[in-house]
Amino acid sequence: MHIEPGIVTGAKFVLSCATGIAMGCVVAKLVVEAIHERRALSFAVQAIAATGLVFTLFEFPPHFAVWASEVHLVLGSTLFLLFGAAPAALGLALGLLLQSVLFVPTDLPQYRMNVTTPLMPLFAIKALAKRLIPSKAAYRDLQYSKALALSTAYQSGIAVWIASFALYRAGFGAANLGKVASLAVYYAVVALVEPLADLAALALGKQMGGVTVRGSVAYRSQKAYCCRK
């Protein structure tokens, strides 16, 4: 889900980074609202947990480079359903930053552009969840079909966003379209695997539903924040 260095350059690179700054402002707004709603300690616990999960998913499971990008498992929709939009967004941003600083410092100049890849689909499924999931629904009570819809939408959003960068950089020539198609094939594999992992996480959440330790993932499984208006 990274955009590899050298794919987007010059003025297009500057404009692409500007989208990351804009999304950072959206994340900041969500964080302020979440702290006001949940209190700072509860939000901090959830944000730290989300960051740790994101960092682990980015670095340790198998991931591989495909032309313009690296393909990772993200579990973005599960992070959203478990913790809500603000902790998930902050976790995605900080997890990617930690992974870049500690393991791939060459990605740091592109961080503002790269961070848009997990965040844009997250904001999209936040809007979709308001249509699919009642505002008072608990994670453990979610229907598998709705969780699957959010997971599929999230992965599709990542693929579309990566492809848009590639087309933005090199246009609609036959060679570039062929590379975009090859990238789509690899993301299609992730789009098949990741929803299964999301459904497994939901099944675990249903089993943990009786545990009520405030601030924990188990407590979050009883109390929904993701779809509140």
The pLDDT-based confidence of 229 (bands split at 50, 70, 90) is very low
> CA-CA distance, 216 to 212, in Å (whole number)?
8
- CA distances (Å), origin 30, targets 23, 26, 88: 11, 6, 10
* Domains present along the chain, CATH in parentheses: 10-220 (1.10.1760.20)
Mean pLDDT score of the chain, rounded to an integer? 79
Q: 47-57 pLDDT, tens per residue?
A: 999 999 999 98
Split at pLDDT 50, 70, 90, the class of 213 is very low
Q: Model-level pTM?
A: 0.81
Q: Are the C-beta atoms of 122 and 88 separated by less than 8 Å?
A: yes
Sign of CA dihedral 156, 75, 167, 62: negative
Summarised one tens digit per residue, pLDDT across range 63-87 is 666 656 666 778 888 899 888 899 9
Give the SS3 label for residue 189: helix
